Amino acid sequence: MRALALGITVICSVTLFSQSLTAYFDYKVFLLPDNGILLETYVDVTGSSVAYLPVNDSLNRAEIEMNIILSNVETVVDFKKEIVQSPLAYSDYTPDFMSLNRFLLPSGKYTLELIMKDLGKEEDAVTTMRTIDLQLDIDACSFSDIELIAGFRPAAQDARMAKSGFEFIPYMSNLYGETFNELLFYVELYHTEKSLGSDEGFVLSYALEDSKSNRTIAECEVVKRKKSAEVITEMGRLDLSKVPSGLYILNIEARNRENEVIASKELQIIRQNGALAKEYSPEDIELSFIGKMNDKDSLIAYIDCLHPVAREYERTVIDYQIKNSSLLECKSFFYSFWEARNLIDPSKAWNEYKEQVRIAEEKFGTSNKRGYSTDMGRVYLQYGPPNSVVDRSSDPQSYPYQIWHYYRAGKFSDKRFVFYDRELLQREYQLLHSDVPGEVRNPRWDMVLNSRNNAQWNQEQNSAGGSSSERMQELFETPR
């Protein structure tokens, strides 16, 4: 895929947050026979990275000023300037939104400049430039680019971005995780009548193949008979529910009556499917980055530190099966854990996380507990470092406490964690309250903090009241 992230953002195995406009850019190339080359551009704006401003008492909207400039060596060839609006949304919802544009161009090599500015923020515009090579043989029998699809619907009469009677929502990635059980795509095939003759039969096929062995995946192959024409369109669908994690190739071919390939197109697909266990041979494991980890006790310690980022079924394996497993089984689990998170380079994913574990140990480890096992260490590893920390460790009126604020915690925006030191030893802070769904929630957290000097408080109260509690609530709502 050619998708490109824009903006100052950190994307890794531990953190995913940004205060600047973040968007993803991609493009696809099609032909309009006798007219030229059709360049389609897609920009997907991350809703949580832009300002949603009130439209009325209950609804908000974000607006982006976007400029796309196409030029060659000599001059500007084409440009588009538009205000891209998000859908209307309630105050606690910031949906992503997309802009699609088309450019009809002659064959050639172009520079595309994309300039975007969030109209709701006092920030500089985000700019990127790409070189796009459209030096194509427009008379040859060939496929267009393969457009992966997130969804589609019948096109309205006035739809400006319709193809073959449908409006498509582009899928801006080639990674298909556990929530995706099918792959949808759109492709066009040109000038088969020039290659085969008018109204001649041929075979159009598409299949998912293993990138290493080129073996076609079972139940992921479709073969159709077609008749030659100037333009043939195809919307394909493949079932991914039984496809395990791995690197694959979506291969599309057109073959004549002699079974000769007259046109083909490929696209790499990454599948991450934790529901299906992938089998590894001992040779696979020994040749991987885990191959030299032959001390079982050390390997089990490494596996144990995965708790903060493990899924529920992985934590079950870690807690109840690993200690009684063989060295090879431990290696297989550890390798599959990291391959599921970075199929291209699982070693890199592990080394990056290992460094975060080292930092958690340094910051939060105690004499009797590893850093990743503490509440602060677990939150740090699961959600990344907080964007701001309120530290009240020396307030004589309350237990020592900290409030961590995240611009983004997992899939949630603008969330907080409250930790406190009940033992007054400045050794380990426990998680008392968070507004992240699924985390510890204690609506009387301020009362608990204020109970240091007053253990008697009314169980029916929802707040301790008084200036101290008001100050805590203020720090929680507006961290500094």
CA dist 45 and 170 (Å) reads 13
CA dist 464 and 444 (Å) reads 8
pLDDT at 231: 95
- For the domain spanning 139-275, the CATH number is 2.60.40.2550
More confident residue, 253 or 392: 253
Model pLDDT for residues 12-36, shown as the tens digit of each residue: 222 223 346 888 899 999 999 888 9
CA dist 366 and 377 (Å) reads 11
User: Residue 410: pLDDT band by 50, 70, 90 thresholds?
Assistant: confident
pLDDT at 460: 46
Beta-carbon contacts of residue 205 (< 8 Å; ≥ 6 apart): 221, 222, 223, 224, 252, 253, 255
More confident residue, 444 or 200: 200
Q: How far is CA 177 from CA 159, 169, 180, 415, in A?
A: 31, 18, 6, 25
pLDDT at 276: 60
pLDDT at 459: 44
pLDDT at 457 over 60: no
* Positive or negative torsion for Cα 321, 322, 328, 333: positive
Tell me what the mean pLDDT of segment 154-177 comes to. Answer: 85
- For the domain spanning 1-136, the CATH number is 2.60.40.10
More confident residue, 400 or 340: 400
Q: How far is CA 129 from CA 25, 67, 114, 132, 268, in A?
A: 11, 12, 6, 10, 24
pLDDT at 204: 97
Contact 378, 392 (CB under 8 A): no
Q: What is the percent of the chain with per-residue pLDDT over 90, rounded to a whole number?
A: 53
Model pLDDT for residues 87-124, shown as the tens digit of each residue: 999 977 899 999 999 999 999 999 999 999 999 988 88
Model pLDDT for residues 54-72, shown as the tens digit of each residue: 999 899 999 999 999 999 9
pLDDT at 411: 81
Domain regions of the chain by residue span: 1-136, 139-275, 282-376, 386-477
pLDDT at 106: 92
Beta-carbon contacts of residue 306 (< 8 Å; ≥ 6 apart): 314, 318, 337, 353
Q: What is the mean pLDDT of the chain?
A: 87
Model pLDDT for residues 124-148, shown as the tens digit of each residue: 888 888 889 998 888 899 999 999 9
pLDDT at 440: 87
Instruction: Note the pTM of the prediction, 2 decimals.
Output: 0.64
Domains 1-136 and 139-275 share a fold: yes
pLDDT at 4: 47
Report CA 393 to chain centroid distance, whole Å.
Answer: 37
pLDDT at 344 over 60: yes
pLDDT at 458 over 70: no
